[in-house]
């Protein structure tokens, strides 16, 4: 996400001819977009995004389990042992 924010900032500054960015080549403005695309490709290839999605799902499942236990009046079952 940071690469995209940097790319947008560079492109906007380049279009508005602001500061030192106006003297840079357009290649420098589009380089962060290429880095973001490379990052997303590698993250998908090595399973980083899938792992984050699975961790999020596990956290939701555990929260739902805790809410169900509390609704049944059991509270945190680990505290009673």
- pLDDT, position 80: 54
Domain co-membership, 59 together with 26: no
Domain co-membership, 31 together with 51: no
CA distance 4 to 16: 18
Triad 60, 5, 19: Cα angle to 5°: 160
Domain co-membership, 54 together with 78: yes
Domain co-membership, 3 together with 40: yes
Domain co-membership, 61 together with 37: no
Q: What is the span of the domain harbouring residue 57?
A: 47-81
The values of phi and psi at residue 36, to 5°, are -65, -45
User: What's the mean pLDDT in 35-49?
Assistant: 88
pTM for the whole structure? 0.57
Structurally, the chain folds into a number of domains equal to 2
Confidence tier at 56 by pLDDT (50, 70, 90): very high
User: Is 70 exceeded by the pLDDT of residue 48?
Assistant: yes
């Amino acid at each position: 996400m940071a690469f995209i924010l940097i790319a947008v900032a560079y492109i906007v500054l380049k279009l508005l001819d602001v500061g030192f960015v106006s003297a840079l080549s357009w290649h420098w403005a589009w380089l962060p977009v290429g880095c973001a695309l490379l990052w997303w490709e590698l993250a998908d290839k090595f399973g980083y995004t899938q792992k984050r999605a699975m961790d999020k799902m596990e956290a939701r499942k555990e929260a739902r389990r805790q809410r169900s236990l509390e609704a049944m009046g059991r509270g945190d079952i680990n505290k009673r042992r």
